[in-house]
Amino acid sequence: MPVQIQRLRLGLLLSALICAGAVHAAECGSTGAEYEAWKTATLRDAAAAGVGARGLQALKGTSYSTRTIAADRNQKSFKYSLPKFLQVRGADTIVAQGRKRKARDAAFYAALEQTYGVPAGVIIAIHGMETGFGGFMGDTNVVSAISTLAYDCRRSDFFTPHMLAALVLVDRGSITPQSVGAKHGEIGHTQFLPGNALAYGVDGNGDGRVDLTDQADALTSTANFLAQKGWRRGAGYQEGEPNFAVIKAWNAATVYQQAIALMGARIDG
């Protein structure tokens, strides 16, 4: 089946779930006390909307993730000044390693830029910032984390579509009920939320499947995400330049956006 048709069908499924109001039938909560009741109602709604048996079984097996909630309430680094943020996140190390990676895999990054218009520095800076170039891709169950955030009243509307996408990913075999990722359910080398993994994931290594724990797939998917969000080939990406707005689509924190732009420029030289 062509990728465009797969994505269209996925979009229609998620739109149907949301527009029908089914995903709002289960009440959110601010503690884990009502999680099991929420899960029971959400299982019924997801089944009625067309989520398959494997996805439903994955949701059924989830538990309320206190570690996810703690992380969601404690994102202190995004409140730092830019110099402090760069220091805490190890910007100099990311840049130094990033330059070596760009030189070592020059053909790969050149091909990405030729196809998607996104220069290597931005992709490499995101890779370094998110997981230390794949050194740590998370230790939290993906489906439990994203389901916990969909249940939690703080940002239920934002995370519910990503929860549904995670169930579809399980149905498709792209992840399993045991897959681990970051505390907010992000997946792989550059930490895609499940909905973005479905919408923008690309088979970068040519093996016929999208696996964001594979570096080539993850970096190609990252370039595709930025391109689809409006990256302008050849335009600048520092603050005030056209492509800085596209970096905002990757992460909503201003200090993160600034850091990516600055590190990317240093890597690109």
Query: Does 185 score more than 70 pLDDT?
Result: yes
pLDDT band (50, 70, 90) for residue 18: low
Tokens 């016929």: give the residue: 208
Residue 64 resides in a domain: yes
Q: Report pLDDT for 47.
A: 87
Q: Report pLDDT for 6.
A: 45
Q: Report pLDDT for 2.
A: 41
Residue 191 resides in a domain: no
Mean pLDDT, residues 157-183: 93
Residue 195 resides in a domain: no
Query: Does 14 score more than 80 pLDDT?
Result: no
* Helix ranges, 35-76 (H): 35-49, 53-60, 66-72
Residue 192, strand partner residues? 187
Assign 19 to helix, strand or coil.
helix
Same domain flag for 210 and 126: yes
Q: Report pLDDT for 143.
A: 98
- Condensed to tens digits (0 to 9), the pLDDT of residues 129-161 reads 999 999 999 999 999 999 999 999 999 989 998
Q: What is the DSSP string of 186-203?
A: -BTTTTB-HHHHHHH---
Mean pLDDT of the chain: 90
C-beta of residue 245 within 8 angstroms of C-beta of residue 230: yes
pLDDT band (50, 70, 90) for residue 73: confident
Q: Report pLDDT for 10.
A: 53
- Distance, in Å, from the CA atom of 177 to the CA atom of 58, rounded to the nearest integer, reads 5
Residue 190 resides in a domain: no
Q: Report pLDDT for 79.
A: 79
- Distance, in Å, from the CA atom of 98 to the CA atom of 126, rounded to the nearest integer, reads 10
Query: Does 48 score more than 50 pLDDT?
Result: yes
Residue 217 resides in a domain: yes
Residue 49 resides in a domain: yes
Range(s) of the domain holding residue 252: 81-137+200-268
Assign 152 to helix, strand or coil.
strand
Residue 193 resides in a domain: no
- Distance, in Å, from the CA atom of 80 to the CA atom of 15, rounded to the nearest integer, reads 37
Q: Which of 98, 105, 101, 78 is nearest to 89 (CA)?
A: 78
Q: Report pLDDT for 1.
A: 37
Same domain flag for 147 and 126: no
Query: Does 7 score more than 80 pLDDT?
Result: no
Residue 205 resides in a domain: yes
- Distance, in Å, from the CA atom of 218 to the CA atom of 215, rounded to the nearest integer, reads 5
| Structure tokens, 51 | 């989520």
How far apart, in Å, do the first and last CA atoms of the chain sit?
A: 41
Q: What is the CATH number of the domain that holds 257?
A: 1.10.530.10
Assign 29 to helix, strand or coil.
strand
Three-class DSSP labels, 79-112: HCCHHHHHHHCCHHHHHHHHHHHHHHCHHHHHHH
- Distance, in Å, from the CA atom of 226 to the CA atom of 230, rounded to the nearest integer, reads 7
Query: Does 243 score more than 70 pLDDT?
Result: yes
Mean pLDDT, residues 104-118: 98
Comparing 227 with 11, the larger pLDDT belongs to 227
C-beta of residue 2 within 8 angstroms of C-beta of residue 149: no
The rounded percent of the chain whose pLDDT value lies above 90 is 81
Number of domains in the chain: 2
AA identity, residue 216:
A
Tokens 């190609």: give the residue: 220
Q: Report pLDDT for 139.
A: 96
- Distance, in Å, from the CA atom of 243 to the CA atom of 227, rounded to the nearest integer, reads 10
Comparing 75 with 148, the larger pLDDT belongs to 148
Query: Does 12 score more than 70 pLDDT?
Result: no
Same domain flag for 217 and 123: yes
